[in-house]
Structure 1
Amino acid sequence: MKTTLLHGGRVIDPANSVDAIQDVLVRDDRIAAVGQLLGTPEAAGAELIDCTGRLVLPGLIDTHGHIYQYVTGRFGLNADMCGVYSGVTTLVDQGGASCITLPGFRNYVINTSHSRVISFISAYLVGGLEGHFYPELYRPECSDVDATVKSALANNDVVKGIKAHAELGGFARWGLDVMKKAARVGEQTGLPLYIHFGQLWPEPESGGRHVDPDSIFPAVLDLLKPGDVLAHPFSRHPGGFVSLDGEIHPLVGEALARGLKVDVGHGSHFSYKMAAKVLEAGVLPDTLGADMHGYNTSVKAPAGVPEEDEHPDEEHLFKGSSRFSLVSAMVSLMALGLKLEQIIPMATSNAAKLLGMSDTLGSLGVGREADITVLSDQSGKWLLRDNEGTEVIAPRMLQPLFCLRAGKRFDATAEILPVPHAL
């Protein structure tokens, strides 16, 4: 039996209202005790890990990943690179797998990863092929409500939600038809529907209809149920939380009042200007997804997949490659004025609740599986820049050091982790 004592860190566990300098005792794969434990009989003989000056948190949960590696071409990243080797113990793959490809996702990603992997199954038969570079694969005829419902319910141990898109390119082609089918999947499974907002596909060159981007939000709102998730509130692309006039969409408040949730879905379309507008309007996201994928993250393409961009006409939609992580997304929000204490629940207890897994994830409760993230925490000045070129100063820098996943240690060595630019 292996016993480890994480000693002297700032333990923040929102689910249990804990924020104090404490110790966390891990015995094999379980949390054995939390408190002032150094020198006590229960901690005798434990391996001591000094966490002084560090944050000790419930294992971080990334609610927006793209990790169906190889099957989704350049789009899908390695789960453990985005997960345990970036200080994240649980990842939600957003729409990579479909009712057709979920068995492969379970066998080749979920079952082989050190990270815990959850699926928000795609509302489309093809799943997340090449990051939706091929719009016609996502037309209404390519969605099978009955098959998707059947797959989600038969795999309810790993499928915790449904992924769909409400964006300008799709609405110009098919109107609400695809979203209506996705909403039916959400209703029949009782699972949260996670909706992408902000333009993804270019508008069709011919045969499409004119769509006012500001009409998308109200059209979709009437299809949704409490607990469904509005993603990308800080997107720089039209058709989301910020109207064409530069003001927050007037129906955002109504959406929140109806019980809809908001996920950051950081990604490369994250805009500091848009984020400031939305936050100033009093909209605080519930969860924090990093939205890393092969188009916005500096990582080599999988073997056999071309490195070059074969879609130059869509460069404006996937502009910019970078090194980032869920933890650097946390830093982005702090640079916008949010407090650490507001952000940690987004990546722990709130995320666990979204997944319907509060009894398993997002807490350092005694007896729980030992999923724990340890971060460094420094004060100073660091320069951050988004893909619009807007620069902000982060007064605080968090970096992942290591995590325990079911009690096993993984150091934060991922190649995608950013190198902070101190001023």
Structure 2
Amino acid sequence: MAEASGYDLLLKGGRVMCPASGIDAVRDVAVKGGKVAAIEEAILPSSAREVIDVSGKLVLPGLIDTHGHVYQYVTGRFGLDPDMVGVRSGVTTVVDQGGPSCMTLPGFRKFIAEPAKTNIYAFLSAYLVGGLEGHFYPNLYSPDGVDIDATVRSANANKDIVRGIKGHAEIGGFARWGIRVMEMAAEISRQTELPLYVHFGTLWGLPESGANGEDADTIIERVIPLLKEGDVLAHPFTRHPGGFVNREGQVHHVIQAALDRGLKVDVGHGSHFSYRLARKALDAGVVPHTLGADMHGYNTEVPAPAGTPEEHCDDENHPFKGQARFSLTQAMSSMMALGLPLEQVVPMVTINPAKMLGRTDEIGSLAIGRVADISVLNDDRGRFLLRDNEDHRVVAERLLRPAFCLRAGERFDADSPILPQAIAA
């Protein structure tokens, strides 16, 4: 037993779930010096300077969002404030998917990763321009906009924050340039020995000349042979052409073989998510390994500060105007509404993404002595209405909402203005 004030903080009476440690029970969690100091059935409140009653709540390793867009300002309206997506949404680690490139990574490190309270990683864009508003400027994403050697050098020199490579396999790019850009992205991934995260589903739209003989339904079966064990297939539940489900409503036959040889699947919720297609994929045995929210300025309503013009979602013609609000915990709730148990969903946002990032020794666990990255969630019961961007609605009997998180022992309340509000069914 610790002496009085031996611990800085005590989280008392919550359901502690740590797949990495094999813990799933009501426990007390003590924090000292920014690290997990003890997890026991009962710890005396007098042993801590501060005690927080978390009875009835879930106490998890700090949530890891595998698909964020947080290169604020540089990536136009895509980039959100990293802490708004991160600690203020109950998430301790956010992976920016393709925002920085080999040219813009120094700025990402200096102005995003270093000042953020959230733990920030990046999957480096295969394109020199990074995650600019590509749907406006698709020609920037041609093979001429990829420099394999420069991107490999940048990634290898910055592996403390660069933990993967981002590429796009979708009909707009294939209609313009065929498979060459994906071949180049795969080569960058091979040379850096980092996972390649592949976007599937329409992104840029077709050029004026049309599809140029390309068929969206063939993209996934042409791309998968380029990929290696540990690479990530994103947006399995996309409502857009070119995803896991073909135009006949069948899951591509190559998916299971890809999973069998070690490829991974990330939900990449965002504007791509469809309950209808998720049901088809899950019924075919396609269960995601990781779960990213994929929030960005086009699909997330960001209230402007008082007295300032609206900066996000102010263009009535932008492609995702007026779509459903969501968050990482809302995406977890969606998985549960589709029939996956909580015990299967929690690894998707803790230990599995830590493995994807090659950081299981740092994040994704509540092991004693680890940095105290902890997410505390409300586990509401009732009837709650969830909807996707096809306006398909499901009724969930369980809704997860962030209460607060600890990032290296520092508390952050879940007060982000982009968090969705619970809607009773």
Matched, 1:214 2:214: no
**Contact (CA 8 Å) 1:60, 1:372: kept in 2 or not?**
yes
Q: Is the partner of 1:265 in helix, strand or coil?
A: coil
Alignment-mate amino acid for residue 39 of structure 1 = L
CA contact (8 A) 2:272 2:389 kept: yes
Mapping 1:157-168, distance limit 5 Å: 157-168=160-171
Q: Which amino acid aligns with 1:119?
A: A
User: Mapping of 1:140-219 within 5 angstroms?
Assistant: 140-206=143-209, 209-219=212-222
Q: Deviation per CA, 1:365-388: give whole Å up to 9, x if none.
A: 000000000001121110111111
Aligned to 1:379: 381
Match of 2:3 in 1: none
User: Aligned in 2, Cα 1:150/1:409: closer, same or farther, shift over 3 Å?
Assistant: same
How many residues align? The count is 418
Cα displacement (A) at 1:304 = 8.2
Matched residue SS, 1:323: coil
Q: CA deviation at 1:207?
A: 7.2
Whether the 8 Å contact between 2:134 and 2:141 is mirrored in structure 1 is no
Deviation at 1:37, TM superposition (A): 3.4
1:222 is paired with a residue whose SS is helix
- 1:279 match: 282
The one-letter code sitting in structure 2 at the alignment partner of 1:3 is: D
Cα separation, 2, equivalents of 1:217 and 1:74 = 28
- Report the counterpart of residue 17 of structure 1 in structure 2: 22
TM-fit CA distance, 1:39: 2.3
Q: Answer yes or no: is the 8 Å Cα contact 1:11–1:21 preserved in 2.
A: yes
- Residue in 2 that maps onto 1:391: 393
Separation in structure 2 between the aligned mates of residue 311 and residue 225 of structure 1, nearest angstrom: 41
Q: How does 1:321-360 map to 2 (within 5 A)?
A: 321-360=323-362
> 1:13-412 maps to which residues of 2 (within 5 A)?
13-39=18-44, 44-206=47-209, 209-300=212-303, 312=317, 315=319, 318-412=320-414
Q: Distance in 2 between matches of 1:290 and 1:379?
A: 22
Displacement of 1:46 in angstroms is: 3.5
- Kindly state the Cα deviation for residue 332 of structure 1 after the two structures are TM-superposed: 0.9
Report the RMSD for the aligned CA atoms in angstroms.
1.7
Q: Which among 9, 12, 27 is matched to residue 7 of structure 1?
A: 12
CA distance in 2, matches of 1:260, 1:308: 35
Question: Partner of 2:400: helix, strand, or coil?
Answer: strand
Alpha carbons of 1:390 and 1:311: their partners in 2 closer, same or farther (altered >3 Å)? closer
**Identical pairs, percent:** 60
d(CA) in 2 for partners of 1:301 and 1:76?
15
Matched residue type, 2:13: G
The C-alpha deviation readout for 1:54-97, integer Å capped at 9, x for no partner, is: 00000000000000001011110000000000000000000000
Is the CA contact (8 Å cut-off) linking 1:77 and 1:294 kept in structure 2? yes
CA distance in 1, matches of 2:316, 2:71: 21
Take 1:90 and 1:356, find their aligned partners in 2: how far apart are those partners? 13
Please list every run of 5 or more consecutive structure 2 residues that lacks an aligned counterpart in the other structure. Answer: 1-5
| CA distance in structure 1 between the partners assigned to 2:114 and 2:359 by the alignment | 19
Q: Normalised by the size of structure 1, how large is the TM-score? A: 0.96
Q: Any idea what SS the aligned residue of 1:46 has?
A: strand
In the alignment, structure 1 segments of 5+ residues that lack a partner are none
Structure 2 CA distance, aligned partners of 1:246 and 1:301? Answer: 40
Deviations 1:331-363 (A, max 9, x none): 111111111111000000001000000000000
Question: Could you report, residue by residue, the CA deviation over 1:6-44 in whole angstroms, capped at 9, with x for unpaired residues?
Answer: 01100000001110000111002010011123228xx61
Q: Which residue in 1 is equivalent to 2:420?
A: 418
Shift of residue 45, structure 1, vs aligned partner: 3.6
Cα deviation, residue 307, structure 1? 5.2
Q: Is the 8 A contact 1:143 1:178 kept in 2?
A: yes
TM-score where L is the length of structure 2: 0.95
CA contact (8 A) 1:164 1:193 kept: yes
Q: Which amino acid is the alignment partner of residue 174 of structure 1?
A: W
Change (3 A) 1:415 1:207: closer
